[in-house]
Amino acid sequence: MPPVAQEGNCLIYRGSNFLKQRLILACLSGKPLKITQIRSEDESAPGLREYEISLIRLLDKITNGTRIELNPAGTSVMFTPGLLHGGQIHHDCCVQRGIGYYLDALIALGPFCKNSLHCTLRGVTNSKDSPSVDHIKGAALSLLKRFLLVDEGLDLRVVKRGVAPLGGGEIEFRCPVRKNLRGIQCQAQGMIKRIRGTVYACKVSPAMANRTVEAAKGCMLKFLPDVYIYTDQNRGKMSGNSPGFGICLLAETSDGVCFAADCSSNTPDESDTPAVPEDLGQEVAMRLLDEIYRGGCCDSAYQWLAALYMALGQKHVSKFLTGALSTYTVHFLQHLRDFFSITFKLENPDAEDDEADDVRGAQKVLMACVGIGYTNINKRVN
């Protein structure tokens, strides 16, 4: 959805959709942002949700000079971003969303802070509504490494697991700062060479994890011999506040591309019947195969991150091959145009070859743009 209006430098939007995208781009562009009519039609619970307020507080912590104005009902917010400061941050995330919801924003903003980010986040490490910490470590960080010339100082570590609904997990995220990002030409996907995975079990029998491993391996070994899935058994204080288990699979290609898929057990609120480990293992295997079929040089969950780094890169042509664009990515490209006045050229590299879809999987999209030459004005000059 395009901005409803623009008052000077301030962009005005309506509704709660894509709130995180708009806040991230406001922080990077320095443009004030006003969002109105946030769930104003919902008479029982209008306005911002608790997890959205928690995200705004996190952005306030990593910036210096940010001004936030909320109306009493919470249906309108005025966000005037300050300078990205970074540094050491501790934040208790709202358990309505997984830590991945907040980590997405930190990964997008981290390289452009004044000081290297060292964040400690507490909350739900694995949930169904957000990418798990394992998913982000495999897919998002491998993508970020392509754009950073040196990835020294980039790290994501799980201190404690905590599953939905009560969380209790803790992670540490470190991100180095860069003066600018390099342009990139990434059009080779490569062949899948190995599959790795992690199965976690918190406050449940270890047999749950072992059964999930067997089911997932049973599916993946039909396609590839190099499959190894680790088990992460958590007990006592290291297992969070809720029982549950889940799995994340990661497929790596010969060209360093990573595809990820994750799946977690039901919470009591979601279903009266408990999750069956064998079903969970098969479901995550099918999701990973679907990601591989989509193809491209990044995971479908992080196409938007590749588009962001391309747009902010040096003033050279960047090209990046992805699978079919997700709805989230399409709206992100529209928001990039609003905030940075940059447009992408999208084309199908296999358009001339009618049989390409049968041979190489689903239809691909080649994203191309000339970077705006975004410079980290906050970075100290050594």
Select the more confidently predicted residue: 5 or 243: 243
Interval 2-7 mean pLDDT: 70
Helical (H) or strand (E) element with 271: none
Q: Report the pLDDT value the prediction gives residue 352, as an integer from 0 to 100.
A: 61
In the chain, where does DSSP find H-type helix? 19-29, 50-62, 99-109, 133-135, 141-147, 206-220, 277-294, 303-312, 327-340, 356-360
Q: Report the pLDDT value the prediction gives residue 326, as an integer from 0 to 100.
A: 92
- How far apart are alpha carbons 76 and 338 in whole angstroms? 20
Interval 38-45 mean pLDDT: 87
Largest CA distance in the chain: 61
Burial class (CB in 10 A: 0-12, 13-18, 19+), 240: buried
Q: Report the pLDDT value the prediction gives residue 290, as an integer from 0 to 100.
A: 93
Q: Is the pLDDT of residue 380 over 60?
A: no
- How far apart are alpha carbons 114 and 144 in whole angstroms? 18
Interval 196-209 mean pLDDT: 91
- Residue-wise pLDDT for 120-152, tens only, equals 999 999 888 889 999 999 999 999 988 887 778
Interval 181-197 mean pLDDT: 90
Q: Report the pLDDT value the prediction gives residue 278, as an integer from 0 to 100.
A: 93
- Residue-wise pLDDT for 332-351, tens only, equals 999 999 999 999 999 988 76
Return the domain boundaries, the chain. Answer: 1-82, 192-294
Q: Report the pLDDT value the prediction gives residue 167, as an integer from 0 to 100.
A: 85
Q: Is the pLDDT of residue 268 over 80?
A: no
Please report, rounded to a whole number, the percentage of residues in the chain having pLDDT higher than 90.
65
Among the four given CATH numbers 2.130.10, 3.10.150, 3.30.110, 3.30.2450, the one describing domain 1-82: 3.30.110
Q: Report the pLDDT value the prediction gives residue 5, as an integer from 0 to 100.
A: 66
- How far apart are alpha carbons 75 and 14 in whole angstroms? 10
- How far apart are alpha carbons 202 and 220 in whole angstroms? 25
Among 151-155, 158-162, 200-204, 214-218, the range scoring the smallest mean pLDDT is 151-155
Interval 10-16 mean pLDDT: 91
Q: Report the pLDDT value the prediction gives residue 335, as an integer from 0 to 100.
A: 95
Tokens found for residue 213: 């491993």
Same fold, 1-82 and 192-294: no
Q: For residue 114, what is the DSSP state?
A: S
- How far apart are alpha carbons 369 and 263 in whole angstroms? 34
8 Å CB contact between 293 and 310: no
Q: Is the pLDDT of residue 85 over 50?
A: yes
Instruction: For residue 248, give the nearest of 99, 141, 126, 157 by alpha carbon.
Output: 126
Q: Is the pLDDT of residue 248 over 90?
A: yes
Q: Report the pLDDT value the prediction gives residue 122, as an integer from 0 to 100.
A: 95
Interval 228-247 mean pLDDT: 87
Q: Directed axis angle between helix 50-62 and helix 99-109, to 10°?
A: 30
Q: Report the pLDDT value the prediction gives residue 382, as an integer from 0 to 100.
A: 44
8 Å CB contact between 247 and 212: yes
Q: Report the pLDDT value the prediction gives residue 360, as an integer from 0 to 100.
A: 53
3-state SS assignment for residue 359: helix
- How far apart are alpha carbons 115 and 300 in whole angstroms? 30
- Residue-wise pLDDT for 290-303, tens only, equals 999 998 999 999 99
Q: Report the pLDDT value the prediction gives residue 237, as an integer from 0 to 100.
A: 80
CATH superfamily of 192-294: RNA 3'-terminal phosphate cyclase, insert domain (3.30.360.20)
Would you place residue 165 in the very low, low, confident or very high pLDDT band (cuts 50, 70, 90)? Answer: confident
